[in-house]
Amino acid sequence: MKSEKKVAIVQSNYIPWKGYFDMIAAVDEFILYDDMQYTRRDWRNRNKIKTPQGLQWLTVPVKAKGKFLQTIRETELDGVDWASAHWKALCQNYRRAACFDSVAEQLEQVFLNAENSNLSQLNRTLIEWVCEQLGIATKISNSWDYTLIDGKTERLADLCLQAGGTEYISGPAAKDYVEETIFSSHGIKLTWFDYTGYPEYPQLWGEFEQGVSILDLLFNCGKNASHYMKFVGFSMPKGG
C-alpha cells in the first residue's frame, strides 16, 4: 500500500506572512515553483511590515529582462543596498517588540551577509531560516528538481506524482484555474488550504493587521509564535 504524502507547490515569496509557513508545516514536501513567470507588484520580491505610520512595503529591487519576461528563477537582484535599508526599517519599527533582540541577533546575519544573486536564492534562504525558527522540518525542494510538462493543472499534478505525493494542498486562490478532475484522474486527493480563523497576537502600532510578514509575529512573540498558527506546533521537533 502506497504511503500517504502531502505536497504543496507554491511560488517563493519575500519574507511571507504566517499562512505561507503554516502551509509548509502542513505538508511533507513543499516545492518552490519558481519556474513560473515573475510578476511585478506581487509578493515575489516584497512584503509588508507595521510602522507607527501604518503598513509599509519592503521591496527588493530586481533587474528586468525585456519587460520582465522572465521566470522568478531567472530574476536577478539589483544591487545590495536594499538589504541594509530593509534591516534599518525593521530595527526602527520593531525594536520595541518583546522578542526583537533574540530574533534580530540571528536574522541580522542572514539579511546582511547572505550571498544571494537572484530572487529565488534570497527567498529560499529567508524561508528556510524562518522554518528553522519555527521548528518546521518539511522537505523544501525546487520545481527544477523535477521534469516540467505542459498544461497548468497537468504540470501541478505531475509534479505531485514525481514527488510521490498522494494529496495536493493548494491555496484557495487557485480555485479559479485548477481543474480538479485532473488530480482525481491521477488518484491524487485535492485539498484547499484554509487561511481563515487566525487569532490575533500582541502587535505594535495600532489596529491589528493579519496579512503582514512573518517577521512581525516572530519579533512580537518569539518562541510563542506557534501558538498563533494552525499547523506549526504539530511539526515542531520534540523539545523544540
Residue 111 is predicted with a pLDDT of 85
Give 127-172 pLDDT, tens digit per residue. 999 999 999 999 999 999 999 999 999 999 999 999 999 999 999 9
Residue 65: pLDDT over 80: no
**Structural domain containing residue 80:** 6-235
Q: How confident is the model at residue 113 (pLDDT cuts 50, 70, 90)?
A: confident
Q: How confident is the model at residue 76 (pLDDT cuts 50, 70, 90)?
A: very high
In a domain, 227, yes or no: yes
Cell triple for 71:
521566470
Distance between CA atoms of residues 146 and 97, nearest Å = 41
Over the chain, what is the mean pLDDT? Answer: 92
In a domain, 1, yes or no: no
Residue 236 is predicted with a pLDDT of 36
Chain-centroid distance, C-alpha 140: 11
Distance between CA atoms of residues 17 and 20, nearest Å = 6
Residue 186: pLDDT over 50: yes
Q: How confident is the model at residue 67 (pLDDT cuts 50, 70, 90)?
A: low
Highest mean pLDDT among 39-43, 115-119, 181-185: 181-185
Q: Considering only the C-alpha atoms of the chain, give the largest distance between any 2 of them, rounded to a whole number of Å.
A: 56
Cell triple for 95:
525594536
Q: What is the 3-state secondary structure (H, E, C) of 126-139?
A: HHHHHHHHHCCCCE
In a domain, 240, yes or no: no
3-state secondary structure of 117: coil
Residue 240 is predicted with a pLDDT of 29
Residue 239 is predicted with a pLDDT of 30
In a domain, 34, yes or no: yes
Domain count, the chain: 1
